[in-house]
Amino acid sequence: MGYLTTHVLDTARGRPGHGIRLELYRLDGESRTRLTEAVTNADGRCDAPLLQGDAFTEGEYELLFHAGDYLGEPASGVFLERVPLRFRVASADEHYHVPLLLSPYGYTTYRGS
């Protein structure tokens, strides 16, 4: 059975992004259903998979990272407030790892292992 994991790497500081709140949504056309919420630990990871077992199904999802709280106060000129990552799960039998590589003025992602 497959499952979904994530982690955040702070590429500007060269360390894990800890204490970042994230939300996971299932997308169905224009509607979004919130499935869970988590906060990254000291290693920039969640303590458990975000989805697994029967809850992990094929379809489109969105991970929404609340990066602004981590990057600084709005008065300090934070550029990235929230980072949405939309992706499709084609096979619920596989492990999907969706990391966020974050810096104050940009981000990237990929399907990891």
Q: Where residue 63 sits, what CATH number does that domain have?
A: 2.60.40.180
| Mean per-residue pLDDT, 5-12 | 96
- Specify the amino acid at residue 92: A
The count of domains in the chain is: 1
**pLDDT band at residue 84 under the 50/70/90 scheme:** very high
- Specify the amino acid at residue 106: G
The total number of residues shown for the chain amounts to 113
pLDDT tens track for 22-69: 999 999 999 999 999 999 999 999 999 999 999 999 999 999 999 998
Residues 6+ apart with CB under 8 A from 79: 71, 104, 105
Q: Inform me whether the pLDDT recorded for 74 exceeds 90.
A: no
How far apart CA 113 and CA 105 sit, in angstroms, is 26
**pLDDT band at residue 19 under the 50/70/90 scheme:** very high
Whether this prediction's pTM lies above 0.75 is answered by yes
**Containing domain of residue 92, as a range?**
3-109
